[in-house]
Amino acid sequence: MLSELLKASLEALGYTVITASDGDQALSIYESLGEEIAMVISDLGLPGMSGRDLFLRIRAIRPDAPVVIGSGYLDPGTRAELIGLGVNGLLQKPYLPDDVARAIREALGAMTDG
């Protein structure tokens, strides 16, 4: 239900949004659509494949793919690891649609600035 609310909020801002119910489905969608996907927003605690593992698999396909990860709790070690791996943004739950929109702009802006 939360992902549908976020999807509607982002679509109202002009984004095209594709949702997945778990990490395996997200990876399958990414493998199918590849370059058509401008960026990925994932939860860290996905059913099946974790958000961390999804991030690594996506980056194996496309090393410059922008990825933002959200979580209810990010311990300092996990936060440092994700940043070290090159995640483009981290969102701390609870987050609002404006927080996600800001993270999207920052991640996509970083990709065009570099």
Domain of residue 107, CATH code: 3.40.50.2300
Higher-pLDDT residue of 96 and 69 is 69
Query: Which residue type sits at 1?
Result: M
Tell me what the mean pLDDT of segment 45-70 comes to. 94
Domain count, the chain: 1
Taking only the tens place, the pLDDT of each residue in 72-92 is 888 899 999 999 999 999 998
In this prediction, residue 48 has a pLDDT band, given cuts at 50, 70 and 90, of: confident
Q: Report the share of the chain in percent with pLDDT over 70.
A: 95
pLDDT at residue 114 is higher than 80:
no
Domain, as residue range, for 81? 2-113
**Pairwise CA distance, residues 98 & 59, whole Å:** 26
Sheet holding 67-71, edge to edge: 40-43, 67-71, 89-92
